[in-house]
Amino acid sequence: MKYDLVIRGGTVADGSGAETFEADIAIHNGVIAEVGRNLGTGIEEIDARGRLVTPGFVDIHTHYDGQVTWDNRLSPSSGHGVTSVLMGNCGVGFAPCLPSQREIMVEVMEGVEDIPGIVMAEGLPWNWETFPQYLDAIEARHTDVDFAAQVPHCPLRVYVMGQRGVDREPANSDDIKRMAAIVREAVAAGAFGFSTSRVAGHRTAGGEVIPSTTASEDELTAIALAMKDVGAGIFQTAAEFDLSNGFSAEFAMLKRLGKISGRPVHFPLLEYRENPEGWKQVANACAEARADGVEMYGQVCARPVGILYGLELSCHPFIGCASYRAIAKMPLAERVAALRDPTLKARILSETPDHLDKRVLALSRSVEDMYRMGEPPDYAPPASERLDNIAKRTGTTALSIAYDIMLERDGRGIIYHPARNYFFQSLDAVMDMLQRPETVVGLGDGGAHLGRICDGSISTFMLTYWTRDRVGKRLSVPWVVKALTHDTARIGGFGDRGLLKPGYKADVNVIDYDKLTLHAPFAAHDLPAGGCRLFQKADGYTATVLSGAITYRDGTPTGALPGRLVRHQRSAPRGI
C-alpha cells in the first residue's frame, strides 16, 4: 500500500510508557494507518534511523487565547514538539465580552498574564461577543498546532454582571442562572471546560483584584453542574491552599464541586518557599479524593517556575529606583551607555526602590536567590552560582552583580530567579510531584507572562534534563514521553491523540535525541505593535508532523499550517 507519509526506521516511544522499539510509522488521511517493520512506501518519507519518534506533545495550560487570533504560529510551544494546546486557563480570556467591556478584559489579561495592553489593542480583532462566536472566529484560523479553549470566569462574570462583576459583588440567583446557561451553551458548542482564578495575587494592570477571585461556592457549583448537564468539561482553577489553620477550606470546596458535578478538577501544584512541604499535603488530599471517586489533578511545572529579569523585560531589581526611572524610557543602547557610568551605578545601588505592587518589588529585590541565565541555560544551578554566594567570594554585593549581569551582551543579559519548586536547591521535590498518579504536566504558559517567564519549552527540558543530563536519578524516555503525550491528552480531553497506534491522529515528533539542546531565552520584538516577549529555541527536532503534514524540519517552519480548533473533548478512536 502507498501511504501519504512514512516515518522510516525510528526508535519509537509510542506514548504508552512501554519500552522503545524500532518501527516504521505509516500515515494516511491524517491518521496513523500502521506501525511495524518494512511497511509500504509513502508519497513522502522521513528517514528516522537513529532518531527518537514520539507522539506530538500535548500542553494543557498555555494562554494562547489572544495569540491564536493574530499569529499562525503558536510559538514558542510549536518549536518544542507541541502539536495540541489547551487555552482559556486561570479564568482569564476574551469571551464572552461586550464591546464596552473589552478594555476591562485587556487590563485583566495584562495584569495577570503580563501581555502588554498595546499588543492586545492592536492584535485582537474582536470579531465575537458570545463564547460560541469566539469559537467560530478562531475556527477560521490556520495554525501550526491544534488548539482548544475553555470558558474563562472573568469575562463570563463581567458579561453577565457588568460593573458589579468587576467590583466582585456577590452574584444573585439570576446572575448565577445566566452564567450557568452560558457555560452550558459554550461546552455544548465545543468548549473543553471552564476555568477560574482564586489567587489574591492575580491583579489587573491597575492593581485591582480580578473579578473571579471571591466568587461564591454557589456560583461555582451552578457552573460545575452546567457542565454535568452536558456531560463534558474540565473545571480548572488557579487556587491557593491555606494550610496554616487545619487543612485547606479551598481544597475542600473544590472537592465538593468535583463530587457533585462528576467533572475533573485541575489546579496548579507548586513548592512554595513559604511552606515548602505544603504541596505534599495537597497532593495526598488529591489522592484521597481520587480514591473517593473525585477526579482531581495537580498540574506540575517540570522545573522551577523561573522569573527572568532584564533591561528589555517587564521587571528587574532596579526598576523601582528613582535614578533608574529617570532613564527607563530611553532606547536600550542609550540606557546601557548611561548605566555603565560608575557614578550612576553607585547612585542606583544606594537607593531604596519603590513600586506600586509591593509583591513585585519584594520578588525583584530577592537577589540573594538569583542566578545568571547562561547559555545553555541551567535550570537546576548549584548554590555556588547563586548571586549572594558569588558576592561573598568576590567581596562585592549581590545587587552589584545583578546590575552587571543585565549589562552583559549590550544590555541583553538575563537574571534567573527560581521562585517556585527550588527551595531546597534541588528538583527532587519536582521528581516526586511528577511521578504521582494525581498529577499531570502543565503550567507551561507559552502564551503568557511574556516579559517574565518562558516555560513553554517544558517538553524539551523534560527530555534533556530528566532523561539524559540530570546528575543522579533520572526518568526513563518512555515514561517522560507518556507524561507529555498520552497522559496530558487523556487528562486534558484530547483522547484521539497521544499514542502512536493505528487509528490515532497523526501528530508525531522525530527527534535527534543525542543532539537535543535547549537554548537560553531571549527578548524578541515580534508581537503586534512591536511588543516584546521572551522566546526560546531548541535544536534537535528533526521533524514535527501535525495531522500527517510536516510543519517543521530541523526547527524551521515548512509553511504547512494544518492546525485547527478542536471542538469538544475527544475520546480514544473506536475499537482501540
pLDDT of residue 233: 98
Write the CA distances from 551 to 56, 67, 168, 395, 496, integer angstroms.
12, 18, 44, 51, 20
Confidence of residue 368 (pLDDT cuts 50, 70, 90): very high
Note whether 97 and 129 are within 8 A (CB).
yes
- Encode pLDDT of 427-483 as tens digits: 999 999 999 999 999 999 999 999 999 999 999 999 999 999 999 999 999 999 999
CA distance 198 to 240: 7
Instruction: Give the cell for residue 437.
Output: 498518579
**What are 304-342's pLDDT values in tens digits?**
999 999 999 999 999 999 999 999 999 999 999 999 999
Asked if 131 and 151 touch (Cβ cutoff 8 Å), the reply is: yes
> Do the Cβ atoms of 156 and 183 come closer than 8 Å?
yes
Query: What local confidence, expressed as pLDDT, does residue 66 receive?
Result: 98
- Cell numbers at residue 16, please? 504508552
pLDDT at 170 over 70: yes
Report the alpha-carbon distance of residue 292 to residue 254 in Å, rounded: 14
Q: Which residues are 326's β-sheet partners?
A: none
pLDDT at 514: 98
CB within 8 Å of 236: residues ≥ 6 apart: 89, 90, 150, 193, 194, 195, 196, 265, 266, 267
> Residue 503 above 90 pLDDT?
yes
Report how far residue 301's alpha carbon sits from residue 324's, in angstroms, rounded to the nearest whole number.
Answer: 34
Q: Output DSSP code: residue 331.
A: -
Per-residue pLDDT at 20? 98
Q: What is the Cα–Cα distance from 410 to 157, expressed in whole angstroms?
A: 45
Whether 1 has a pLDDT exceeding 90, the answer reads: no
pTM of the model: 0.97
- Domains of the chain from N-terminus onward: 3-55+503-557 (2.30.40.10), 58-239+272-294+429-492 (3.20.20.140), 307-420 (no CATH)
Question: What's residue 433's pLDDT?
Answer: 98
> Over the chain, what is the mean pLDDT?
97
Give residue-wise pLDDT tens across range 339-364: 999 999 999 999 999 976 788 889 99
Tens-digit pLDDT profile for residues 196-212? 999 999 999 999 999 99
Is residue 316 within 8 A of residue 415, CB to CB? The reply is: yes
The residue to which cell 536567590 is assigned: 369
- Give the integer Cα–Cα distance in Å for 505 and 562: 12
Cβ neighbours of residue 341 closer than 8 Å, sequence gap 6 or more: none
What pLDDT does residue 438 have?
A: 97
Residue 246 has pLDDT above 90, yes or no: no
For the record, the C-alpha cell of 362 comes out as 519584594
pLDDT for position 576 = 62
pLDDT of the residue at 409: 97
pLDDT at 526 over 70: yes
By the 10 Å C-beta count (0-12 exposed, 13-18 middle, 19+ buried), 350 is classed as exposed
